[in-house]
Amino acid sequence: MKRLISFVILLVMPTATFALTTNVEFKAYDQSLASQVCVTAAKDGFQAAKTRLKNSVDNYIEVMLSIKCNGQNLRSFAKNYQPVKPEALVKKSVMIKAADNREESKICAAAVKNGVKAVAEQTGNKVDDLLCNGVTLRRFVARYTTS
């Protein structure tokens, strides 16, 4: 029996997760202003929910701070359900080149292209002590490597 329950749980969990991420429909729990504002926040964002409150009550800030949507404050709830902006999906690329003719600048640029280990072997330098743009070489490479 335990095996059957475990199998059913393993089968249902991925399906439920997929369903939550693709087609989410929000329905108000009741006709209260708080429920309506939570639905607005999920569908249209925080600013729309704030505007709805402004148009409904005089002390909207106090009401806004007291509303909890599924246990979260209004701003967090709205943020969780907003679609990802297309520009957030765009992969950015950076071109690294030596800032000047100094050996250290060339090593920093080469490390991004070829890796820290390869540069250390080629130059015979202690790369752990080298700073690139004010950070350690390893951090610099991690920040600008695009793989």
What is the tally of structural domains in the chain?
Answer: 2
Question: 10 Å Cβ neighbour count for 82?
Answer: 13
96, part of any domain:
no
Question: Do 64 and 122 fall within a single domain?
Answer: no
23/20 Cα distance (integer angstroms): 6
pLDDT digits (tens, 9 = 90+) for 38-88: 899 988 899 999 999 999 998 888 988 999 988 999 999 998 887 766 665
- Does residue 93 lie in a domain region? no
Q: What is the pLDDT of residues 76-126, one digit of tens each?
A: 999 888 776 666 566 667 777 777 888 888 888 888 888 888 888 887 767
Range of the domain at 12: 2-86
